[in-house]
Structure 1
Amino acid sequence: MRPRTFVPSAAAASLVLAVLSAAPVGAAPADALRAAADPLPLEDLVTGDAVMDRLEELQAIADANGNSRALETPGYEASAVYVEEALTAAGYTPERQYFTFEDLVVDELSLTAAGVAPADDLYAAEFSPATPDDGVTGPIVQPVDQLRQGCTAADWDGVDATGSVALVSRGACAFSVKVTNAMADGAVAVILYNNVDEPLNPTLGAAGAWVPTVGLSLSDGQAILAALEGGAAAEATYDYQFHVDEFETFNVLAQTPGGRTNNVVMAGAHLDGVEEGPGINDNGTGSMAILEVAVQLAAAAETDGWPDNAVRFAWWGAEEVGLVGSTHYVDDLVANDPAALDDIATYLNFDMVGSPNYIIGVYDADESTYEAPVEVPAGSPETEDVFTDYFDQIGQPWVDTEFSGRSDYQAFINNGVPSSGLFTGADGQKTAEEVALFGGTEGINYDPNYHSPQDTIDNVDPTALDIMSRAIAHAVASLADDTFAVNGAGNPELTALTAETRCVNGTAVVAVRATNDETGWADVRIATDFGQKKFTKVGAGKNAYQSFSTRSASVEAGSATVSAYRWNDGDPRHQYYDVPYDAISCG
């Protein structure tokens, strides 16, 4: 729930209400109210071993269903059933949110470069346009940097790529950066070859206007390079054609039966994988981590009760074809239930949390390392702090990862919902500094098996999985207990506030009304220049109402002060509202 703006009733539509956060004299300062006293210690209950057991089940599902858990496959259906059965056994009532969407189906995909027809699988880059009907043909050019990675404009100095097909190595920067630089030099198509001997399935990003781009394996790239060195004609022909088809799939959603439903904490991970493999690190790890958190949260609630805020868990469908499931979820709220979107306090995203050459990465919402290429919603840096403070407290090194929006939090941040998340790395290369922090191997990808058939249970690092699973549990428990630092919620909220003047037997009267918008009771005090009234333990949805005589035939315009009080694990929480009223003369 983001901070709300009070809208006066029709009777007071011309008036302005200011919702004040100042504390009364003698109250604790706001900083002292930022953290709840005793969130559930979920990080002690959610272990990497337990999540690994769930990943074994996902691997068995993939093994039994053609080594894939992609959308519209039996493997995806079986994965969803597994999640639903675990949730139901824990006491949740999971629901499927079905949706249809259009996506492309490849009709033609072929490449010949320097006389070489690649032997391994080709993958058109995600968001790549098609070529002309007869393909695109042009001279082969390469960037001039030593590793042929083309990550800066200077890497194309002295190269005339006009009308060419650029041949570029994977590594050191995002695929979109490589293609952007090649396009800026005039390339009309780009061939990206892997830096490990696996097929390459690159993605460019939906926002760009790209040239046709294809990925291929290291061995195929090396074969093309060898042919060029041997004097083969430096020419390539690439043909990529597709049509659009309609698909149907679903998200799986479950919410705690307890907690405030007007201040919901969301945790999400995509459940689908790519067609080419079982998708265990990407993104079985995130999916199974939040499943174990949900199960352990329910178990702890049996003795400790549900936290103050409801928690909604989401397993997104169709992420691998363009973040479709999470976007549908948010767009549906925007169109049909915007108040429910406003009730989401913050969204936590977990996409790959067990990479074999891992980093412990936190989305850089405060932009302390990376300038975000998207607008960062207010409250996101404070959500990031929940993760980083936890890591600091336990002495766990961590690094920032770019707050890019390139996962299922994109639709949330586009609509102003505070967000953060964790990431152990995908196709970027590990640096020497990161090796010093986390171990592993410098110069190779965080996940060399990203989007490949080798993304199996053996592709998951148990240490990374344990660290991240516990951090997820800690963040969910902390925010479920208290989101005050993120959005100011936790202070009791009132709604339907009105202050009206009227005449009663020739005397001006000020009548004030407020409704308790909490799921539990709140103390309410109404104060005017003509008296005050305290209401003790006003129930959820109940009204506090008082009429005050001015003892005069007229009254000037003014305002009543309405305050609400609650306690969160012993911490006092209060909210003040100034409610204006009109002048009136009864003479």
Structure 2
Amino acid sequence: MRMTVGFVAALTGALVLSGCSDPDDVGPPVDGPSLAAAIDTDAVIGDLAQLQRIADDNGGNRAAGTPGYDASVDYVVDQLEQSGFDVDTPEFAVDLFHATTQTLQVSGRQVPVKALTYSPPTPAGGLTARLVPVPSDDTPGCEDTDYGGLDVAGAVVLVDRGACPFAQKQRVAAERGAAAILVADNVDGDLTGGTLGSKDDARIPTGAVGKADGATLRQGGDATLTLDTTVESVKSRNVIAQTRTGASDNVVMVGAHLDSVPEGPGVNDDGSGVATLLEAARQLGATPNVTNAVRFAFWGAEEVGLDGSTAYVDGLDDAARADIAMYLNFDMVGSHNAGYFVYDGDDSDRVGEGPGPEGSAGIERTFDAILLQLGVSPDGTDFDGRSDYGPFIAAGIPAGGLFTGAEEVKTPVQAGKWGGEAGAGFDPNYHSAQDTLANVDRTALGVNAEAVGYGIGHYAQSIDGPNGVPAAGDARSGARAGTGK
């Protein structure tokens, strides 16, 4: 177990009561310091080892719609039930994407390409058109003005990755009349893909190319792109469990996605978030002495478009949505070249999307303070829509959480603050077969696991104060009026 001096001093000396069967037989109040101190990083690593084993036994991944995912659900359910929780595994529909032929030839040269999830297929025999690079700026291909008067009608356009979702880049290109779009990676390393979000958002064939190839392709030329793709409808499951104690109209909901990409075991993305929440659930127990109920969610099909979390939020009626005081998201908390990021709830960084719903700024301040107490100076990270907080903030529910970085590049300033390698991706193994237990940064995982425990325990006791969120009733209804669903 890893404890900091600050947390040990703050600890009241009471042990967290876990797995108690009688709701009237509760222990001392659980708060941020006590739950943080109870988190055992070795137990988190043990869960990661089990998720790695599941992937190894099931073709190397735990992707939605596969036996590896089903086995992951069974493991999480078993751990929660052993801790006394009643567990639900609600089903939802998911569209599974399959790509067979994926080829790109530009001016006679073969270039590796990977179809983005939900990309429409090219015509039989492929699509041949001129390749038109779009100038790169702070929002590459994200806005109509990025095209600067370029004639891209009928062309294959090339844009750089970053700053906005792939679906937005594809939509802008389609509206300009492009026949297809290629997105060049913004970091060195193996070719990584992405998703257009849903089959309904998919408009033109969309593929990804590597950073070096993207730079070469900026010379233009004639491109022949072939993407043979199909979409299959199947069922998947979320895993949901809630404490039996605490106010049910002030639910502190916490989540991590349980599926991996098909290319690898997903031990950091997002086994690290799953294992951290499992340990928090074990230490909290099903009947803790808390003011507010805590609801744990392990989402399915995040990697194919946030399908599990979207289905969950869409399936709640107004009253059930109003009962959720906040949503805390933990997607990748042990990256190999780790950064320490907190979701930018107040948009103080002025990067990408705007602020989160009212209360998100307070959540950001809380996690900033926790990490500072743990000896880490965090940076902000944008609510860019790439993880399961998306459906919650769309519904006006305040959100926040922690993140150690994906394919983005660590700057020299960040390397000076946190260590690691400047100029390399925070997770060089992102969406690959190398996202294994061996490549998890255990120091970052330990810090974040403790911070997650502190945040859950803190808000389980109180959502009030300057770093709180709107209270149940008129204050909450007023804050959410006019938002989302």
- Range class of TM-score, shorter chain: 0.7 to 0.9
Q: How does 1:208-357 map to 2 (within 5 A)?
A: 211-217=204-210, 221=213, 225=216, 234-298=221-285, 305-334=288-317, 338-357=318-337
What does residue range 41-52 of structure 1 map to in structure 2 within 5 Å? 41-52=34-45
Opposite residue 291 of structure 1, the aligned amino acid is L
Q: SS where residue 224 of structure 2 aligns?
A: strand
Q: 1:188 to 1:434 in 2, by over 3 A?
A: farther
Structure 1: which amino acid aligns with 2:106? A
Task: Name 1:123's counterpart in structure 2.
Answer: 114
Partner of 1:435: 415
How far apart, CA to CA, are the structure 2 residues paired with 1:272 and 1:380? 26
Secondary structure (helix, strand or coil) at the match of 1:244 reads strand
Shift of 1:283: 0.6
Matched, 1:418 2:398: yes
Residues 193 and 200, structure 1, Cα contact 8 Å, conserved in 2: no
Do residues 199 (structure 1) and 191 (structure 2) align? yes
Q: What amino acid does structure 2 have at the position aligned with 1:408?
A: D
Where do residues 372-451 of structure 1 align in structure 2 (5 Å cutoff)? 373=353, 376-451=356-431
Gaps of 5+ in 2: 1-28, 475-485
Mapped to 2, the partners of 1:144 and 1:488 lie a distance apart of 44
- Structure 1 pair 459–181 and aligned structure 2 pair: CA distance change class (3 A): farther
- Three-state SS of the structure 2 residue aligned to 1:446 is coil
Aligned to 1:94: 87
Instruction: Check the 8 A contact 1:361/1:399 in 2, yes or no.
Output: yes
Q: Look up the equivalent residue of 1:411 and give its one-letter code.
A: P
Counterpart of 2:127 in structure 1 is: 136
Q: Please give the secondary structure, in 1, of the residue aligned with 2:356.
A: coil
Bigger Rg, structure 1 or 2: 1
| 1:476 equivalent in alignment to 2:456 | yes
Partners of 1:203 and 1:113 in 2: CA distance:
24
Contact 1:375 1:413 in 2 (8 A): no
Corresponding residue number in structure 2 for 1:189:
180
- Answer yes or no: is the 8 Å Cα contact 2:52–2:265 preserved in 1: yes
Query: What amino acid sits opposite 1:318 in the alignment?
Result: A
In the aligned structure 1, how far is the partner of 2:197 from the partner of 2:316?
A: 24
2:195, 2:304 within 8 Å by CA — same for their partners in 1?
A: no
Unaligned runs of 5+ in 1: 1-35, 495-587
Q: Is the 8 A contact 1:287 1:315 kept in 2?
A: yes
- Give the conservation status (yes or no) of the 8 Å contact 2:31–2:457: no
1:369-422 CA distances to partner (integer Å, 9 max, x unpaired)?
135636732222122222112223344200010022321111111112111111
Does the 8 Å CA contact 2:89/2:239 hold for their aligned counterparts? yes
Give CA-to-partner distance per residue, 1:456-515, whole Å, 9 cap, x none: 11221112111111111000000001111334549xx89xxxxxxxxxxxxxxxxxxxxx
Secondary structure in 2 matching 1:41: helix
| Structure 2 letter corresponding to 1:321 | V
1:76 aligns with 2:56: no
Residues 209, 466 of structure 1: alpha-carbon distance in 2 compared, 3 angstrom cutoff: same
Separation of aligned partners in 1, 2:270 and 2:201: 25
Which amino acid letter does the alignment assign opposite residue 239 of structure 1?
T
* Higher-strand-fraction structure: 1
Residues in 2 aligned to 1:46 and 1:421: alpha-carbon distance in whole angstroms: 17
CA contact (8 A) 1:140 1:165 kept: yes
* Distance of 1:295 and 1:361 partners within structure 2: 25
* Counterparts of 2:227 and 2:423, CA distance in 1: 32
When residues 200 and 77 of structure 1 are mapped into structure 2, their CA distance, relative to the original with a 3 A threshold, is same
Residue in structure 1 matched with residue 52 of structure 2 by the alignment: 59
Decide which of 156, 170, 181 is 1:165's aligned counterpart. Answer: 156
Shift in CA distance, 144/348, structure 1 to aligned 2, threshold 3 Å? closer
Which secondary structure does the structure 1 equivalent of 2:316 belong to?
Answer: helix
Q: Which protein has greater RCO, CA pairs closer than 8 Å, 6+ apart?
A: 2
The amino acid that maps onto 1:315 is F
Deviation at 1:174, TM superposition (A): 6.6
Cα deviation 1:76-100 (Å, max 9, x = unaligned): 1111111112112212122211122
The answer for the alignment partner of 1:110 in structure 2 is 103
On the 8 A contact 1:136/1:238 being kept in 2, the answer is yes
In the alignment, the residues of structure 1 paired with residue 128 and residue 387 of structure 2 have an alpha-carbon distance, to the nearest angstrom, of: 34
Letter in 2 for 1:71: A
CA distance in 1, matches of 2:173, 2:422: 27
Which residue identity lines up with residue 281 of structure 2 in the other structure?
A
Count of residues paired in the alignment? 440
Change (3 A) 1:133 1:363: same
Query: CA-atom RMSD, angstroms?
Result: 3.4
Maintained 8 Å contact 1:189/1:212: yes
Counterpart of 2:446 in structure 1 is: 466
Residues 145, 377 of structure 1: alpha-carbon distance in 2 compared, 3 angstrom cutoff: closer
Residues 171 and 429 in structure 1, CA contact (< 8 A), matched pair in contact too:
no
Say if 1:370 and 1:403, in contact at 8 Å, map to a contact too: no
For residues 48 and 185 of structure 1, do their structure 2 counterparts lie closer, same or farther at Cα, with a shift above 3 Å needed?
Answer: farther
Change (3 A) 1:153 1:460: farther
In 1, the alpha carbon distance for the partners of 2:368 and 2:89 equals 33
Conserved? CA contact 1:70–1:274, under 8 Å: yes
- Residue 295 of structure 2 aligns to a residue whose secondary structure is strand
Residue 177 of structure 1, CA deviation = 7.5
C-alpha change, 1:61 and 1:110, in structure 2 (3 Å) is same
Q: What TM-score does the superposition give when structure 2 sets the normalisation length?
A: 0.80
Q: Distance in 1 between matches of 2:36 and 2:47?
A: 17
CA distance in 2, matches of 1:339, 1:79: 31
Would the aligned equivalents of 1:280 and 1:457 in 2 still touch at CA under 8 Å?
Answer: yes
Q: Judging changes above 3 Å, is the alpha-carbon distance between structure 1 residues 212 and 310 closer, same or farther for their aligned structure 2 residues?
A: same
SS in structure 1 at match of 2:110: coil
How far residue 425 of structure 1 moved from its aligned partner, in angstroms, is 1.1
* Match in the other structure for 1:23: none
Quick one: which amino acid aligns to residue 35 of structure 2? L
Amino acid in structure 2 at the alignment position of 1:196: D
Name which of 350, 357, 360 aligns with 2:340: 360
SS at the partner of 2:448?
A: helix
Question: Residue type of the partner of 1:46?
Answer: I
State whether residues 105 and 243 of structure 1, in contact with CA within 8 Å, keep that contact through their aligned partners in structure 2.
yes
